[in-house]
Structure 1
């Protein structure tokens, strides 16, 4: 299966992606990891990305899509993949869909974790306190002010993807405010697996 997980930061995409990897036996693909890997491997597109990053420029959509295109051709991703954190914009979604179509492929589903965005701030504060209590480092993005900035960016840039994927008949909404196990079961139901 070729799956995209959508939802605001803190919605539980990472947790659910791990569970999908275990159940479906397909890799979770992180655009950040793919960029770093392509740069360190010295692939042509990785060298292009490195030059941009070294200048402090953002990596443009076509380069990110090119890196994903290279990654999904690798043997472990031929049977499917889970994308979490990509696409971030409608332009990226359109470029990704075009790349898949060019390769004779398409997405199977886009699962969106629907959450109360105001409750997410409380969830993040709780997660930070729990990490502190366990003596673990607190994630930099678990600071409430940093998180609110990330949430605002999500609302303006990424939230429009919902409508894009509804229009393409791909969106499968899931209540992300339920327990982790209930969300896992709901995802299983919407995927039919």
Structure 2
């Protein structure tokens, strides 16, 4: 099973991806983890990403795409994966389609975790992180909506919308039902 998880910050993508990893026996591929791993290992891509991050700039899509390409080529991802944090733009979605086409593969589903902005704000404020102020969270929501709205249209009938409000197991069961439909 090859899945993409979409959802705003605080929607529970990371938590649900871990549960799906265990339930489906496929790796959770998080771009945040990929950045940390590549930087920690001092890979060429990691060093390039670090250069941008240290300057306070966004890591170019090309670097992110190459990290994802490399990760999806690893043996544990041959039978599927759960992508969390990628793609973020339609250009990245195009790149993912090319990566998969090279292996004669396609995505099985794109899960869009739907959650009200006020719920996201409440969840993220409860984490207690210094950089999680209400203004910052609401701004991140706007950035997410601006970047992700085109992905909803891009993926069209592959989108499986899941209500991400409720307890963790309830949401997990909703996702499993959505991807098996």
Deviation track 1:65-91 (CA, whole Å, cap 9, x = no partner) reads 111010111122222111111111111
Alignment match of 2:150 (pick from 160, 167, 177): 160
Instruction: Give the drift of 1:30.
Output: 1.4
Q: How does 1:39-118 map to 2 (within 5 A)?
A: 39-118=39-118
Residues in 1 aligned to 2:124 and 2:48: alpha-carbon distance in whole angstroms:
35
Between Structure 1 and Structure 2, whose CA radius of gyration is higher? Answer: 1
- Which aligned segments of 4 or more residues in structure 1 are displaced greater than 4 angstroms? none
* Change in CA separation of 1:99 and 1:59 when aligned onto 2, cut-off 3 Å: same
RMSD value over aligned CA atoms? 2.0
Instruction: Give the drift of 1:56.
Output: 4.4
* Change in CA separation of 1:147 and 1:55 when aligned onto 2, cut-off 3 Å: closer
Secondary structure in 2 aligned to 1:142? coil
* Change in CA separation of 1:19 and 1:141 when aligned onto 2, cut-off 3 Å: farther
TM-score by length of 1: 0.83
Instruction: Give the drift of 1:44.
Output: 3.7
Secondary structure in 2 aligned to 1:181? helix
* Change in CA separation of 1:54 and 1:183 when aligned onto 2, cut-off 3 Å: closer
Alignment match of 1:170 (pick from 155, 158, 165): 158
Residues in 1 aligned to 2:74 and 2:168: alpha-carbon distance in whole angstroms:
30
Instruction: Give the drift of 1:123.
Output: 3.1
Unaligned runs of 5+ in 2: none
> Who is 2:171 aligned against?
183
Q: How many equivalent residue pairs? A: 181
Q: How does 1:30-45 map to 2 (within 5 A)?
A: 30-45=30-45
* Change in CA separation of 1:141 and 1:15 when aligned onto 2, cut-off 3 Å: farther
Residues in 2 aligned to 1:124 and 1:48: alpha-carbon distance in whole angstroms:
30
* Change in CA separation of 1:151 and 1:37 when aligned onto 2, cut-off 3 Å: same
Residues in 1 aligned to 2:10 and 2:54: alpha-carbon distance in whole angstroms:
30
* Change in CA separation of 1:142 and 1:46 when aligned onto 2, cut-off 3 Å: closer
Residues in 2 aligned to 1:56 and 1:10: alpha-carbon distance in whole angstroms:
23
Instruction: Give the drift of 1:55.
Output: 4.7
Instruction: Give the drift of 1:37.
Output: 2.0
* Change in CA separation of 1:141 and 1:30 when aligned onto 2, cut-off 3 Å: farther
Secondary structure in 1 aligned to 2:155? helix
